[in-house]
Amino acid sequence: MSATQGPPTLLVFGPQTSLPSDEVLADVRSELVGNHSLSALCNAAVHLPRFWDRLVASDPSLRPVPGAEQLARLARWIEHGGSLLAHHAQGPVPNHLALAVTLLVQIA
């Protein structure tokens, strides 16, 4: 960045790779729910839908984003298993879900 330019006005985060298969995700889920040292992370991920609700209450412009639905799907997957990505077989996984899953994969 040259000295005449200001700081960046936008910083975007998101996964840079595709999500793993359901088989790999099943192993990740097993590690999350079975490894006691990951219980705080697992608990935080299960409660992401509540965080989303507070975030939308704080910034109503986020209301059109289907974050609550996607994060509830993530919480159900952690609690009960099954296929996390079956709903997205025909299209891309939304970034708010993909980022959460990517972080869980990288940490677990």
- pLDDT digit string, tens, across residues 9-18: 665 665 566 7
In a domain, 6, yes or no: no
In a domain, 97, yes or no: yes
Range of the domain at 70: 22-107
- Counted domains in the chain: 1
Answer yes or no: are the C-beta atoms of 19 and 93 closer than 8 Å: yes
**In angstroms, rounded to a whole number, what is the distance separating the alpha carbons of residues 46 and 77?**
9
**Helices marked H in 1-94 — which ranges?**
22-34, 39-46, 48-58, 67-80
pTM for the whole thing?
A: 0.77
**Helices marked H in 47-90 — which ranges?**
48-58, 67-80
Local structure of 6: helix, strand or coil: coil
- pLDDT digit string, tens, across residues 53-73: 999 999 999 999 988 999 999
